[in-house]
Amino acid sequence: AFARTGNELWLERARRFEHSVGLIMLDIDDFKRVNDTFGHQQGDVVLREVGRVLREGSREIDEPARYGGEEMAVALPQTDLEGAFQFAERVRHSVEALDLPLLSGDGTLKVTASFGVASLASADHADKDALVAAADSALYEAKRAGKNRTVRANGAVRTRRGVHGVASAE
């Protein structure tokens, strides 16, 4: 999702101008159960609606994308770790508030999502892979901690690689 198209240029720009970049990774909780219980067409409705919430909550400069399966990501230029956390919490609450009609016409479906957030400091040696790894690690911590929550990548730890949340803190 973050190949060297315009998606990597924001990272280079952030380093050059010493701006923060936030990254949010989200995963729809118990998505396999939705597909198994209600079918893949219902799962597609869930993906579309969560994607819509993500896009509507994003600014024009943000880069929301489907990362794979039921995972999505948002690159947030000019956003620090706390700003990324606040954005993720707004989206998390909006996803939780969705009332998705069942395709069978027999009621509605509620879904939740878990979020991991990380941010890129203005250090020269930070890279995209470290940023993705930090956000992904925080996402899995959110899943392990009970789902339907947002976790910051190891708090606001400044590291040698310039990413908040990667091991090898100074």
Active site residues: 70
The full 3-state SS of the chain, as one line of letters, equals: CCCCCHHHHHHHHHHHCCCCEEEEEEEECCHHHHHHHHCHHHHHHHHHHHHHHHHHHCCCCCEEEEEECCEEEEEEECCCHHHHHHHHHHHHHHHHCCCEECCCCCCEECCCEEEEEEEECCCCCCCHHHHHHHHHHHHHHHHHCCCCCEEECCCCCCECCCEECCCCEC
